[in-house]
Amino acid sequence: MTRRIGVVAAALMVLLLVAGCGAQSGGQQAAPESKYPEKTITYVVPWGAGGGSDVMARMVVDIIQQNKFLPQPVVVVNKPGGSGAIGMNEVAQKKGDPYTIIGVVSGQISTPITTGAEVKASTFKPIAALALDEFFLLVKPDSQFKTLKDAVDYAKANPGKLTVGGTGTGSEDHMCTGLFQKAAGIKVEYIPFDGGGETISALLGGHVQLAWANPSECASQLKGGLVKVLGVMAPERLKTYPDIPTFKEQGYDAVFRQLRAISGTPDMPDYAVKTIAEALKKVSESERWQKDYIEKNALTSQYLGPEEYAQAVADAEKQYTEILTDLGLIKK
């Protein structure tokens, strides 16, 4: 009996040694991070095609793939609707998924503050912020408003009658409207749309008198003479558009800039965040990004890693709460 027990014990030892050797020689499955990414990454844009978020996403993806900053493709998928809520809710359901990312702008920070929605910008795993965007107030070339003062005078003579189009309720466009109203002492009618492209179409179609747009959203229309800019909500004139006056120099102390960033799914693994953040940093440092996106579209280049980006979101939530309270979108 003792001899039999000894034989069995010896056999078990051999099996354990073989298993150990197998693990050391590569038999053990590699950790997920060592192979990431192994498949296509989906970049969700929670706004319509043609808007500023869509323009940025497609430039980011093109630069990544052109320079092979990631070994797998990245595809852009538009999920517009609900002032960004539809796309945000869909990505929020993919908890822990390392293959889904989402574009984030200031409106996705502000809108949940007004709606009380559970899914907000801080729900997602911060990856990186890439730029600050500016805001133009547009009119058609044949508009009765030749200057910003003309629009203000009209609004004062016709309270609540001046129509201003923008992307989303409680969005950055809506906040720009609030700042403009406060600085000029007027009241306008804000009309929300699902994206920058739709907003500009509404202006060109005569459905609104004024419209907000980022420079990238209206560059082709501006070049083609289809729209005119009454002012930019920047701290100073833009190098790309030196002839466009700021709101402030026209007597209206209103400045607002939009954050453009990318986040991951809730609880996205740290290895995925690190890999994508590194790729995005390379994008931000590339000559093409600086020349064909930042300079061309009159943005300010600003790369923030995961921790800095998370802090920027927290700071913005405080600032936007004040603006939205003034707009009456948050009960005091």
What's the whole-number mean pLDDT along residues 216-230?
Answer: 94
d(CA 23, CA 115): 53
Contact criterion met (CB below 8 Å) for 122 and 261: no
- Give every CB contact of residue 211 below 8 A, 6+ residues apart in sequence: 137, 138, 139, 164, 165, 166, 199, 200, 202, 203
Tell me which of 19-28, 72-81, 241-250, 281-290 is least confident: 19-28
Domains 40-133+258-326 and 136-250 share a fold: yes
What's the whole-number mean pLDDT along residues 277-285?
Answer: 98
| Torsion of Cα atoms, 231 then 237 then 241 then 246, to 10° | 0
Question: What per-residue confidence (pLDDT) applies to 120?
Answer: 93
- Return the domain boundaries, the chain: 40-133+258-326, 136-250
What's the whole-number mean pLDDT along residues 88-113?
Answer: 95
What proportion of the chain, given as a percentage, has pLDDT over 90?
76
Question: What per-residue confidence (pLDDT) applies to 30?
Answer: 52
| Torsion of Cα atoms, 191 then 194 then 196 then 200, to 10° | -50
Tell me the pairing of strands 136-139 and 210-213.
antiparallel
CATH 1.10.3210.10 given to domain 40-133+258-326: no
Among candidate residues 255, 110, 258, 254, the one with its CA nearest the CA of residue 182: 254
Task: Please give the residue that has the higher pLDDT: either 12 or 223.
Answer: 223
Question: What per-residue confidence (pLDDT) applies to 170?
Answer: 87
* 89 pLDDT higher than 60: yes
Q: What is the pLDDT of residues 10-63, one digit of tens each?
A: 444 444 444 444 444 444 455 677 799 999 999 999 988 888 899 999 999 999
Q: What is the pLDDT of residues 163-190, one digit of tens each?
A: 999 988 888 999 999 999 999 999 999 9
Identify any residues that bridge with 77 across adjacent strands, giving them in sequence order: 44
Tokens coding 69: 């900053």
pLDDT band at 83 (very low <50, low <70, confident <90, very high): confident
Q: What is the pLDDT of residues 124-165, one digit of tens each?
A: 999 999 999 999 999 999 999 999 999 999 999 999 999 999
Question: What per-residue confidence (pLDDT) applies to 81?
Answer: 87
- Give every CB contact of residue 272 below 8 A, 6+ residues apart in sequence: 33, 36, 37, 98, 99, 264
- Mean pLDDT of the residues in the chain: 90
Question: What per-residue confidence (pLDDT) applies to 27?
Answer: 42
Q: Which CATH number fits domain 136-250: 3.90.550.10, 3.40.190.10, 3.30.70.920, 3.40.50.1100?
A: 3.40.190.10
Rg (CA), the chain: 25
Q: What is the pLDDT of residues 197-215, one digit of tens each?
A: 899 999 999 999 999 999 9
Task: State the amino acid at position 55 in one-letter form.
Answer: V
* 250 pLDDT higher than 90: yes
Identify any residues that bridge with 75 across adjacent strands, giving them in sequence order: 42
